[in-house]
Each structure stands twice: as structure tokens, then as C-alpha cells.
Amino acid sequence: MLKKILLALVLAIPFSGMAQKFGVVDLEAIFSAMPQAAEMQTQLETTSKQLEGEIQKIMDEVNTLYVEFQKVANDPNTLETIKERRRQEIEEKYKTVEQYRNKAQQDLMNLQQSLMAPIQAQMNDAVKSVGAEGNFTFIFPNEPSMLLYQGTDVIDVTAQVKTKLGLK
């Protein structure tokens, strides 16, 4: 038992003498200040509008087919096979819309990820650089949902990271 206590003390002594330095960084504030973020948002909005326009064109085609179907469906002289073919045509076109919408959402998410990757890499590099230069033990994101407690000796390095990125 005594050996365990001595071992614990021997292991704890080196750590108690080391000054540990902790920092936090507001990544959202940094991201918002980056011009690349605004460019990314503009490109995503432009692409989204293009995709929405294509979806609307297909929906207009579905609506046109439906109006034509209503005329045929109300005509007692139209054969059931013709009515069924028109109904299937509308269903197929509607499925096309749903498939296109799903593919468009996936493409938009992929575009966002590809545009976001270099921005995140730039932010991470700046945080690492500030951490190394300032001899920080850890730098955590300054998000209330992630931090249970933050003491008064924690340093906010957001301004330093912004400076490292050339931001105001």
C-alpha cells in the first residue's frame, strides 16, 4: 500500500510543477470574419437557386401533365388504357422530381463540404500556430455546449487567431 502511495506521489510531482496553459477560441466568430466564408455562402446560394429553378421546371411539367390528364379523365370517350398511361406518366415525372431533389440536396452538401474543407484547414492551422507560439497545452472551442466549466485563467485566443489569418 505504501509503495502505491509513493508511486503516485512520484508520478504526480512532475505534473504539478509544469505550468499548463489553456486557451479557448471562438471558431464561429473567426469563420464569420473570413472573406472565404462569404464567398462560400454566395456560391452555395447561387447553386441552390439554380437547382431550385430546375426542380420548378420539372414541377411545371408535372402540373401541365396533370391538367391535361384532368381533361382526358373527365372525357367519357377516352379509353381507360389512355387514362392509365397518362396517370403513369405523371407518377413517373413526379418520381423524377423527387430523385432530382434528393440528388440536388446531396450535390449541395458535397459542394458545401468541398468549399468548407480549405477554410477549416486554414482556421486549424492558425489555431495550431497560435498554440505552438504561445506554448498552450490545449486550445478548446469556446462553445458553452462543449465546456462544462471554464476558469478565469483560461485565455481567449480568438483575436490572436484572427490576426494570424489577417482578419480584423
* 12 pLDDT above the threshold of 50: no
CATH code of 19-165, in short, is: 3.30.910.20
* 1 pLDDT above the threshold of 60: no
Mean pLDDT over each residue of the chain, to the nearest integer: 87
What is the rounded distance in angstroms from the CA atom of residue 148 to the CA atom of residue 133?
27
Q: Are 62 and 90 in contact (CB under 8 A)?
A: yes
Predicted TM-score (pTM) of the model is 0.71
Tens of pLDDT, residue by residue over 31-46, are 999 999 999 999 999 9
* 24 pLDDT above the threshold of 90: yes
Task: Give the model's confidence band at 18: pLDDT under 50 very low, under 70 low, under 90 confident, else very high.
Answer: low
Of the candidates 48, 87, 62, 152, the residue with the CA atom closest to the CA atom of residue 40: 48
How many CB atoms sit inside 10 A of residue 160's CB?
20
